[in-house]
Chains A and B, each alone.
Chain A
Amino acid sequence: MFVIALGLFAAEPDAKLAAKAVTGDNWPEYGGSPYAWRFSQLNQINTANVHRLKPAWVFQTGDYADALQATPIVLDGVMYFASASNWVFALYAATGKLLWEYRYRPLKVEPRYLRQNRGIAVAQGRVLMGTADNHVVAIDAKTGSELWDVDIEDARYCGCNVTGAPTVAGDNVIVGVTGGDSSHRGYLTAFNIKTGRLAWRFFTIPGPGEPGNETWAGDSWRFGGAPTWLTGSYDPELNLLYWGVGNPAADFDASNRAGANLYTNCIIALNPATGKLVWYRQLIPGDVWDFDASYEIILADLPVEGKPRKLAIQMGKSGFTWVLDRTNGEFITAWPFVQHYNWITGIGKKGELIGRNEPIYDKPKLFCPSAMGGRSWNHAAYSPITNLIYSTGMEVCGEITAELQEVEPGTSWFGGRFNFRPPPNDKSRGFIAAYDPVTGKRAWVSDQPYYMLASMLATAGGLVFTGDPHGTFYAWDARTGKTLWSFSNGAGHRGSPVTYVAGGKQFIATPTGWGSLVGRAFQAAWPGAPLPRAGSTMVAYTLDETVK
């Protein structure tokens, strides 16, 4: 109904892939599609009429334990999403009225990595969710009753839990785990969607005798971090599951873990049915800045130097974007997206880091970007029409002081301390920008006073959407970066907007309500600034029929 002709896609991206990677009436997966574009082909709402966008309904979850960080899933007129305490809601997407509500049992122990649920998956009639106490549950999507529940690993021992949305591939649902700032050996675990039975577990740190174990000094592999706390992407043609792996523990103190520390700070590609590693590419060996390689991986087919390539693109926490060949992990190129960076001077032709600048013990040293990163985990969007990646970002630096630290399993393990400082001769600030995905050439930038911690949404209506920490939700012209519309939601944005059709109309929906780990650092980076407001509310917009 609101579909654009495929011929309108920019000539360069592969049109066949685009047809599978864009969303339409539904928003069926966390990243829109398994290619993680967060781009919709809907264009009923477009640059010509977005000034008429107005709130259609509001739903307040009542769960104020932490921010509403969800990406809602919308299928056939029903919206599903979870709140911070693992309460799950099914709403009629046209009206916001409640169809059913599910509440996971109250927590016995407050999780170290906080109650941060970023999303769910819906497949085979089941809503699948990882919990704050390291369980994974399947809920009947029609009725909201629990079908199965598995304890992934004891949360009190591991100090770990699930904050990211699970990924579905074939018959399996794959769940990640938190870590990196605590002593724990990370993994990905896959379960059969129907029965909950364990399909496989892939440890992101190889064990003794396995290739890569020698990249860990002594027995530091046992509690070395390598978490998988965000959500993977999936290529159904290549049958490869891609996941970003986080940093080694302790974050800033590498004294007991000399070596490259595989597979920390890697993009890994697994067979989703067996969990076998097909390839890996380490982006940052021996990380001592807490830069991870955890963020979303956008899968796109684009020409590089005139030849068509199958790409995996990650805009990293470190302020650099990596572009790999997703068939074999080959390094293609990397480009910076922040102005201020000093942890390296650049990245070479083979992906090697040039000019490593590391923290030192017991003396603070200024690093750019800070431990919050050049961007936070909130997601970018890729538009095949403009052939641009849209992302939020920040220019914030910070002092890191490395320290020796002994630790027990599952306990906090930073190996030092850190703070936030403005970049040299600059203010701490944020931005939204549009980049060529292969060259990194910036098409436009919209400077912001503070970091922006909500995901981008891009549509065929020529629009990109996101919300700011102080409650304003915006639409920008995707080609020019001009602000076309905004609305004041009253609470900070820390989740992901989506778009869908319900009752014959196109909706834009966004979660609102501030919090989260990086959200709570707002005062440390901008002392004295007005505080972002907490809350936990989904807001949906449609075009006002009465206005011209």
Chain B
Amino acid sequence: MTAVVLLLAFQTAAAQDSITQGSQVFAKSCAVAYCHGPSGTAGRAPALAGRELNRTAVHDAIFNGIPERGMPAFGKTLGQPGVETVVTYVLSLAKTVTTTQPAKPSLAKLAPELATGRDLFFDAGRMPSCSACHAVNDAGQEIGPRLGLRPLTLEALKAVVAKNVQVAKPKDEPAFDAIVAATATGATRVYDVTAGLPVARTFQAGEVELSRSGAKWTHASAVRRYSDAELRSILRWVAPR
């Protein structure tokens, strides 16, 4: 009996020690400027105090970081025991703690050869880049078809003919080649494709006329901004995996 009591007392003391230790690590590394704030109450990062927190999610966030949101990984610097003490402290701030396992998003870093293709796809030095008119998964602008759903060869890419280009003639401006985004009673929205970045133009009723013939813009003129080697690299990244 005594042994059990002593064990319980030890565990409680250990838990208390963890919270104190964890709070010290937290104060040094997590509460810092622009991050979670003193006692997790405020800062640029989400407030931690007074919320429902999931043990696994908190552990993973601290150990692996959340790269795309700016949360650093502390697994290497704190080690598993160190992370555990911080987890204990953070959970002590919570209103409720859940322990079910949430789905983990992939945090894998891209292989270098795929990273090259991705960076070319979004290259801000190319006006336009592929991403100016195409979306892949969550990123890019969807003016043309969404990519990454079907495999594409270099030959097929170069042979693409954009069939939906029209000529837009606004009332007080010269005509320009455009891809129609939406027409409704009262407003017409078209993408002007004649400059380095597509411009979404909104016209009220009667302010613009659209005609299907006479457009000169070609998809090939955009593709030509990249070399064949660059296009191959992009296609490797875009290819469905």
Contact = CB atoms under 8 A, between A and B. Distances in A.
A524 B38 contact: yes
Given A145-B202, A197-B195, A417-B32, A156 B138 contact: yes
A145 to B, nearest CB: 7
Contact of B44 (A114, A147, A148, A157): A114
A419 interface: yes
B153 to A, nearest CB: 25
A64 interface: no
B33 A371 contact: yes
Interface string B35-75: 00110011110000000000000000000000111101000
B68 A154 contact: no
A187 B126 CA distance: 13
B110 A147 contact: no
B177 interface: no
Contacts of B220: none
Contacts of B119: 222, 409
Contact of B200 (A112, A149, A198): A149
A151 interface: yes
Contacts of B211: none
Contact of B125 (A207, A370, A408): A207
Contacts of A358: none
Contacts of A150: 197-200
B41 A523 contact: yes
Nearest to A525: B33
A203 interface: yes
B32 A148 contact: no
Contacts of B118: 409
B194 interface: yes
Interface string B67-95: 11110100000000000000000000000
B125 A157 contact: no
B127 A146 contact: no
Contacts of B72: 405, 412
B155 interface: no
Contact of A520 (B29, B42, B67, B204): B42
Contact of B131 (A112, A157, A398, A405): A157
B124 A158 contact: yes
Interface in B168-202: 173, 192, 194-202
Interface in B99-127: 109-110, 118-119, 122, 124-125, 127
A247 B139 CA distance: 26
B139 A148 contact: no
B192 A527 contact: no
Interface string A149-184: 111111011100000000000000000000000100
A158 B67 contact: no
A472 B132 CA distance: 46
A444 interface: no
Given A408-B67, A521-B34, A153 B43 contact: no
A376 B21 CA distance: 35
Contacts of A182: 70
B140 interface: yes
A198 B119 CA distance: 21
Contacts of A408: 67-68, 109-110
A402 to B, nearest CB: 14
Interface string A370-382: 1110000000000
B20 interface: no
Contacts of A524: 31-33, 37-38, 43
Contacts of A149: 199-200, 202
Contacts of B127: 198, 201
A16 B3 CA distance: 91
Contacts of A145: 202, 204
A195 B199 contact: yes
A196 B199 contact: yes
Contacts of A222: 119
Given A153-B122, A196-B199, A527-B38, A412 B131 contact: no
Could you say which of A148, A156, A527 has the most chain B C-beta atoms within 10 Å of its C-beta?
A156
Given A398-B33, A524-B31, A527-B38, A157 B139 contact: yes
B141 interface: yes
A462 to B, nearest CB: 38
B200 to A, nearest CB: 4
A541 interface: no
A159 to B, nearest CB: 8
A201 B197 CA distance: 11
Interface string B127-148: 1000110000011110000000
Contact of B202 (A108, A148, A419, A527): A148
Interface in A316-332: none
A197 B192 contact: yes
A418 B32 contact: yes
Nearest to B71: A412
Interface in A501-548: 517, 520-521, 523-525, 527
A185 interface: yes
A203 B43 contact: no
Contacts of A153: 122, 124
A420 interface: yes
Nearest to A203: B125
A419 B26 CA distance: 13
Given A153-B124, A157-B122, A197 B194 contact: yes
Interface in B190-234: 192, 194-202, 204
Given A147-B201, A153-B122, A198 B132 contact: no
B199 A418 contact: no
Given A201-B127, A419-B32, A520-B43, A151 B141 contact: yes
A525 B131 CA distance: 41
Contacts of B201: 147-148, 195-196
Given A417-B29, A517-B34, A524-B31, A152 B197 contact: yes
B227 to A, nearest CB: 15
A145 B207 CA distance: 14
A154 B70 contact: no
Contacts of B198: 150-151
Nearest to A196: B199
A441 B194 CA distance: 54
Given A151-B132, A408-B68, A520-B44, 8 more contacts: A148-B202, A150-B198, A158-B124, A187-B124, A198-B195, A411-B67, A524-B31, A524-B32
30 contacts: A146-B202, A148-B200, A148-B202, A154-B131, A154-B140, A157-B122, A157-B131, A157-B139, A157-B140, A185-B124, A195-B199, A197-B192, A197-B194, A197-B195, A197-B196, A203-B125, A398-B33, A412-B70, A418-B33, A517-B34, A520-B42, A520-B44, A521-B34, A523-B37, A523-B38, A524-B33, A524-B37, A524-B38, A524-B43, A527-B38
| Ranked 10 nearest A-B pairs via Cβ | A412-B70, A197-B195, A198-B196, A196-B199, A156-B139, A157-B122, A149-B200, A153-B124, A198-B195, A154-B131
Interface of B: 29, 31-34, 37-38, 41-44, 67-70, 72, 109-110, 118-119, 122, 124-125, 127, 131-132, 138-141, 173, 192, 194-202, 204
